[in-house]
Structure 1
């Protein structure tokens, strides 16, 4: 796996599938920052269990056509609210956040107040697995149970449809 493919995949990343330990991978929106990606999670934001406390995570990135092109182990570092790194990276990340109310600075301040975590995922050297070495089988998983699922009724039909 060349470093160029890794850098290109990170630059184009808008969503990444991130898993912590043996847990399931969650699709999380992200923002590239130099040779790493930034992810925000917490109250009122995306659900990423264990990511803020983790030291390592597995990141799966997609290519231009939506298929998996890269799997990489990454080191996780949490940005501290009020630090220089937070002040530099939180506003651009807030600008990328779709459907957020308020300005980018207000959103970054809300993240700091509510305890949201901004983490930087930096690929570990030599851990990238690319196209020829990726598993051939599908990594698709059945849908997880959620309280948001609602059983739907069969659709109403005015006239009976005959089968031929």
Structure 2
């Protein structure tokens, strides 16, 4: 496979499907950094079980059409707070974080205080699978159990809504029986 396709897929990546070992793949938002991807996970951030402790992970990237175009084995390196790489990458990644509570500096400080894992995924040499070698069938799987799933409750109704009386509506629109003839002259004038 051409390394140009991999490089282009990494440059355009905003989300990647990442799996560790034989575990399921998780859709994780990421940020391209040179020829690698940066991903944050941990308390208050995205759920990526085993990624922080892993040595290698499988990364699947999509193309412009939304389908899988490349799958690569990547080396995982965890960045430590205060290191030169952390100080360079963490503020950029925090700036890309949607719905962040606070400024980029506050988010980076929270990541360091809460023990969030900031990892860099670098493609391993000769471990890339291109479009020709990828499976043709869909790799869709049924939804996994998650603590985020909640049973849907029926909506609360404060009062019963009565159906309109069609006969009364028809009588009012034709003028028959809608208002008494006596005593309403001043009201109608």
TM-score, normalised by the number of residues in structure 1: 0.91
Cα deviation for residue 101 of structure 1 reads 1.2
Q: Who is 2:96 aligned against?
A: 96
CA deviations over 1:78-98 (Å, ceiling 9, x no partner)? 000001110011000000000
When residues 154 and 105 of structure 1 are mapped into structure 2, their CA distance, relative to the original with a 3 A threshold, is closer
How far is the alpha carbon of 1:154 from its aligned partner?
Answer: 8.3
Match of 1:15 in 2: 15
Rate the CA distance shift 1:83–1:153 in 2: closer, same or farther, 3 A. Answer: closer
Cα RMSD, aligned residues only? 1.6
Q: What corresponds to 2:62 in structure 1?
A: 62
**Alpha-carbon displacement from aligned partner over 1:11-65 (angstroms, at most 9, x marks no partner):** 0000000000000000000000000000000000000000000000000000001
Structure 1 residue 147 displacement after superposition: 3.2
SS in 2 for 1:128: strand
Which position in structure 1 is the counterpart of 2:124?
124
User: How far apart in 1 are the matches of 2:100 and 2:152?
Assistant: 31
* Structure of larger gyration radius: 2
Q: Quickly say closer, same or farther: Cα 1:98–1:154, change in 2 above 3 A.
A: closer
> Which secondary structure state, in structure 2, belongs to the residue aligned with residue 143 of structure 1?
coil
Q: Secondary structure at the match of 2:90?
A: helix
Q: Counterparts of 1:81 and 1:154 in 2: how far apart (Å)?
A: 46
Q: C-alpha displacement at 1:138, in angstroms?
A: 1.4
Where does the alignment leave 5 or more consecutive residues of structure 1 unmatched? 160-164
Unaligned runs of at least 5 residues, structure 2 = 156-161, 164-189
Instruction: Number of aligned residue pairs: give it.
Output: 157
Aligned to 2:149: 149
Superposed displacement of residue 137, structure 1? 1.8
**Residue number in structure 2 paired with 1:162:** none
